Structure 1
Amino acid sequence: MQAVDSCLPPGDKPRPPNIQGDIPPSGGQTIRSVALTGLFILALLYTLHLGQVVFLPLTIAVMLSVLLAPIPRWLRRIHVPEPVSATLLLSIVVFGLGYGMTFLAEPAAGWLEKAPHVFREAEYKLRVIKKPMQELSKAGELIATATTLDEAKKVQKVEIHNGIWPARMFTITSELLMGGATMLILLFFLLSSGDLFLEKLVKILPTFEDKKRAVEIVREIEHRLARYLVTVSGINIALGIAVGVGMHLLGMPNAPLWGVMAAMLTFIPYLGHMIGVSVVTLVAAVTFDDLGQILTVGGLYWALAVIEGTLVNPMIVGHRLELNPVIIVVALMLWGWIWGIGGTFVAVPLMVGVKIFCDHIEPLAPIGEFLGAREGGG
């Protein structure tokens, strides 16, 4: 022991081993940490699912506040108070939505009322396409019947017709109106509060460097997310105008309705275009007798959607904010389960916001890289 002491510099003495610090964490502790993290994530997702009435309007309000925040900030420079600018903005938004709903409500309600007739007539007119598919289906059933041992057992189909459809529609409409009112109230307070939350965050941070970094991160996230939302909204509106004009030139009734539908459904990647093509094809099947004209309507919508998805969107939005296609599909499924149809509309902006946040926080950078698309757009 004295020989060991003589090798040390003067004043240094050998320290006893740090039993707890020298031993790496065991496998059991790692498994326990992963399990606790997984349980926390599941609990969080289920809480979001149960609190849909609160969290969905809040999320939409936050996104809209990020989108509209530059306007009150600019008006503040010319000495317009933020509550006044928020009131003006919301008045314009409410008036625009009210006018649009009044303009489109009657034709939309008419098509919803004629939906059963539309499906029957479309099925009759598209029987030329349906017949080969039915023959393939019958062939498959024959093969399945030949390989089934127990052919005698047949399951009786029982159809339950719900006679309270109008009551369900009234409930859904009431929930939409309540959610919309809640979203507008939250949006007003978010816009009128200005930078209040950022100021509070800066106030509680301990050092000047932390305060400066927090402001830079928040401003960068706000700027990039706002730019993304504005760009994507502009692209979707342009697609809606193109679809509306195309439907009008092809003689489709209520062309503005299909344009607005296309603009809204484009916020749902992949699935939205499929729904839009199916809807306009069904309407065309009811409107026209010529099969070629029916397929032209669906083909035009699909061609415009392909141009938007493969050329316009990547060229304007850029690949820095593009998401992995697998992540998009998983996000649509996940947020669709959590918040229903509203969740599918906010899924992609939410994931873009998460990617931007992770890109600016060094420990979370690998998650941001995982969420992003392949570099070069491939």
Structure 2
Amino acid sequence: MPSASDPLLVPPAHSRAIAIITTATVLALLYLGREVLVPITLALILSLLVAPPVRWLRKIGLGHAPSVLIAVLALVMFLVGLSTIIGSQVAHMATSLPQYEATVHNKIDALSKLTAGRLEAMQDEAGRVLNQFGDRTAELANEPADAQQNLKASTSVVPVEIRTAPPSPMGVVGRIFSSIWPPLQTAGIVLVVLIFVLLEHESLRDRFIRLAGGSDLRATTEAINDAGERLSRFFVSQFAVNFGVGVVIWLGLVIIGVPNAPLWATLTAILRFVPYVGVWLAAILATLLAAAVDPGWSLMLMTIGLYMVVETVVGQLVEPQLYGHTTGLSPLAVVVAAIFWSWLWGPVGLIMSTPLTLCLVVAGRHVKALNLLDILLGDLPALTMPQRFYQRAISGDSDEIIASARVFLKRKSFAAYCDAVLLPALQLTRIDLVNGLINPEQQVIVRSAIVRVIESLGSHGRRHSSWRRSASVLEGSSIGQVLRQRRESVSGRWQGPLVVAPRSVVLCTGLGTIGDDLATEILARILRDLNIDARHLSIQDIEAIEADPPLEVTRDGISMVYIVSAAPGKERENSATVASEMRRRFSDACILAVLLPALLALPEITLPDSGVNQVVNSLEEAAQQAIARFPGGRKNTQS
């Protein structure tokens, strides 16, 4: 056993301090080393974009090195052409701006009359009042000013003019070279690193596997391959979409007559890498130029309309088909990442913010030590749906549970919701209750929330969703009993008429525990929502009917019998006994055992030969069996 002085045992306070110091050190290194880290990072991101063409060239028979050189050369030619277009368009726009000056002044005057014209009268009145107080002050200030003016008049000043020598040709060349040298230097670093990353692609992948793999090389290899393919596919798709958007914007601006359309199209394609706001920054700039060019307002409105239509179509139709509705990042994470990386690395960091953050999230999903990044920045829920249900229930927030459930029910059935969310959440509650982690007050809150949620869901709940039962009513009774009593208060003790059509009733019974009662009541509600006459009766109720049957009861009304067990591992023998009794009582009925799985995976549970026709392990499967037996349903008799 290690001693307290063992250096490997770091106290929590020291651990937090080390984490803070490490984070601060990393941020400082990122900021101070941005001159080197920015081009290297840009090269790594570009390698993900260029990797698919390299693989394609290798598949058609080219060697690895020629494939890399051809792909990089094509990228360089594309970027040089793009830079040439941008430079020529900027120069052309700079020479054209003076001719738009009159139009700009006219529109500013028009806007001024609409906004500030009504305030001029108030300003004039306020100025007149202030001038009355200022007249006296001006008179007093004139006396020393006159003396100062006389003093200046008596002093002769010789004006001096400073003339600079015209720049020499070498000086002009030097200034131009000094202005373009930093971007050329960065581009050179990016190009060199990109080439070597592509050439050493396999070696780098092996090093990452060795670094993060540990003993499970297979899982690490799959994770890194999956992450690399996903990132590469996302970047290629985003590049293709942005390029397509730029082409469409270019054609649209040319058609409606906005000058310098290639410039705005290129700017749109580049800024679209900045999520949410990038495309609208380009739209604002293009709209301002359209307003300066056109004496009216039609060109400006058509420009903003073009951007709105294109972005809506691309965002709602094209992008979801290519790489889903999201980038894998939460919206808040995207905005925070844009702010963080732009502060850290400037405009280049703003453009690279989404790819960089996406790389961190993908790493967090596959590397356990970085899982915090996936939780904080990813778009996956931090809690599973059962955990959210339990957390909201223990907080008494049943409204949020119901709202989330209604969203789920738009896609799937009530039975599927119970299997996927409700029953696992109830098992989480049971575990904490057994471990003594829920105090009596919290128990009442949870029970009240669960009752209200179940009452509010399904067709039965929609008719009674406004019901509120006080917490005191739940004390001393199980949730299943409360829910059953709610239905019986409206439909009667037997939950419907006793005179029914032959073989038209489905009987649901539990094994007597609190969990069985609740699961049985939920199953009965699921079946009644399907227009199936399901009755929830306990074993004692069935014995009472057998001992003293009502005169009007239909003898052969039972078609199916469900025996529900919420803890089949513990109730196996009891389930078999009850099944044998049900077979004796209802010899012609179809008997199904509903053995619901526990929260932890258990081996498949079977029953001995006890007259059970079929064993199902979910409420949805149980509902499907009833639907198969009653395909047309019947008129819903539930309350």
Q: Do they superpose with TM above 0.5?
A: yes
Offset of residue 113 of structure 1:
5.7
Offset of residue 76 of structure 1:
3.8
- Among 25, 34, 47, the alignment partner of 1:52 is 34
1:319-373 deviations in Å (ceiling 9; x for gaps):
4643111111111111101111100111001111111111123454453143223
Q: Is the 8 A contact 1:82 1:191 kept in 2?
A: no
Q: Is the 8 A contact 1:323 1:371 kept in 2?
A: yes
Alignment pair present for 1:87 and 2:93: no
Q: Structure 2 length as normaliser, TM-score?
A: 0.47
Q: Structure 1 length as normaliser, TM-score?
A: 0.76
Residues 79-228 of structure 1 aligned to structure 2 (within 5 Å): 80-112=62-94, 121-122=103-104, 124-129=106-111, 131-134=113-116, 173-202=180-209, 209-228=215-234
Alignment pair present for 1:266 and 2:272: yes
**In 2, Cα distance between equivalents of 1:227 and 1:96:** 20
| Cα distance, 1:237–1:126 mapped onto 2, change above 3 Å | farther
1:189-233 deviations in Å (ceiling 9; x for gaps):
1112231122345567886x4332332222111100001101111
Alignment pair present for 1:286 and 2:292: yes
For residue 69 of structure 1, give the secondary structure of its aligned residue in structure 2: helix
**In 2, Cα distance between equivalents of 1:135 and 1:282:** 23
Paired amino acid for 1:230: V
Offset of residue 274 of structure 1:
2.7
Match of 1:73 in 2: 55
Unaligned 5+ segments in structure 1 are 1-16, 143-151, 153-165
1:129-153 deviations in Å (ceiling 9; x for gaps):
45555579999x99xxxxxxxxx9x
**In 2, Cα distance between equivalents of 1:52 and 1:119:** 40
Offset of residue 252 of structure 1:
1.2
Q: Is the 8 A contact 1:202 1:214 kept in 2?
A: yes
Paired amino acid for 1:176: P
Greater helix content: 1
Match of 2:416 in 1: none
| Cα distance, 1:304–1:41 mapped onto 2, change above 3 Å | same
Match of 2:533 in 1: none
Alignment pair present for 1:355 and 2:355: no
For residue 379 of structure 2, give the secondary structure of its aligned residue in structure 1: coil
Offset of residue 184 of structure 1:
0.7
- Among 1, 13, 16, the alignment partner of 1:34 is 16
Q: Is the 8 A contact 2:290 2:303 kept in 1?
A: yes
- Among 233, 241, 244, the alignment partner of 1:238 is 244
Q: Is the 8 A contact 2:54 2:67 kept in 1?
A: yes
**In 2, Cα distance between equivalents of 1:93 and 1:194:** 18
Paired amino acid for 1:86: V
**In 2, Cα distance between equivalents of 1:136 and 1:34:** 60
**In 2, Cα distance between equivalents of 1:291 and 1:169:** 40
Q: Is the 8 A contact 2:242 2:269 kept in 1?
A: yes
Q: Is the 8 A contact 2:85 2:262 kept in 1?
A: no
Query: RMSD across aligned C-alpha pairs, in angstroms?
Result: 3.6
| Cα distance, 1:282–1:202 mapped onto 2, change above 3 Å | closer
**In 2, Cα distance between equivalents of 1:296 and 1:107:** 21
- Among 334, 339, 343, the alignment partner of 1:333 is 339
**In 2, Cα distance between equivalents of 1:40 and 1:76:** 42
| Cα distance, 1:249–1:171 mapped onto 2, change above 3 Å | same
Q: Which is greater in Rg?
A: 2
**In 2, Cα distance between equivalents of 1:274 and 1:130:** 25
| Cα distance, 1:173–1:132 mapped onto 2, change above 3 Å | farther
**In 1, Cα distance between equivalents of 2:213 and 2:318:** 45
Match of 1:296 in 2: 302
| Cα distance, 1:172–1:299 mapped onto 2, change above 3 Å | farther
1:33-81 deviations in Å (ceiling 9; x for gaps):
2233123222212211221221111111111112222333344455533
Aligned pairs, number: 334
Match of 1:145 in 2: none
Unaligned 5+ segments in structure 2 are 125-133, 135-171, 382-406, 408-639
| Cα distance, 1:172–1:131 mapped onto 2, change above 3 Å | farther
**In 1, Cα distance between equivalents of 2:217 and 2:67:** 28
1:233-255 deviations in Å (ceiling 9; x for gaps):
11111211121111011011222
1:285-317 deviations in Å (ceiling 9; x for gaps):
222111132222123223323443344334432
Q: Is the 8 A contact 2:242 2:270 kept in 1?
A: yes
Q: Is the 8 A contact 1:82 1:193 kept in 2?
A: no
Match of 1:229 in 2: 235
**In 2, Cα distance between equivalents of 1:136 and 1:198:** 68
Q: Is the 8 A contact 1:126 1:291 kept in 2?
A: no
For residue 216 of structure 2, give the secondary structure of its aligned residue in structure 1: helix
1:236-281 deviations in Å (ceiling 9; x for gaps):
1121112111101101122222211111110011231231122111
**In 2, Cα distance between equivalents of 1:37 and 1:120:** 60
Task: Name which structure has the greater RCO, CA cutoff 8 Å, separation 6+.
Answer: 1
Q: Is the 8 A contact 2:49 2:236 kept in 1?
A: yes
| Greater Cα offset, 72-81 or 261-270 | 72-81
| Cα distance, 1:94–1:199 mapped onto 2, change above 3 Å | same
| Cα distance, 1:331–1:134 mapped onto 2, change above 3 Å | farther
**In 1, Cα distance between equivalents of 2:325 and 2:63:** 38
**In 1, Cα distance between equivalents of 2:362 and 2:193:** 24
Q: Is the 8 A contact 1:107 1:257 kept in 2?
A: yes
For residue 323 of structure 1, give the secondary structure of its aligned residue in structure 2: coil
For residue 328 of structure 2, give the secondary structure of its aligned residue in structure 1: coil
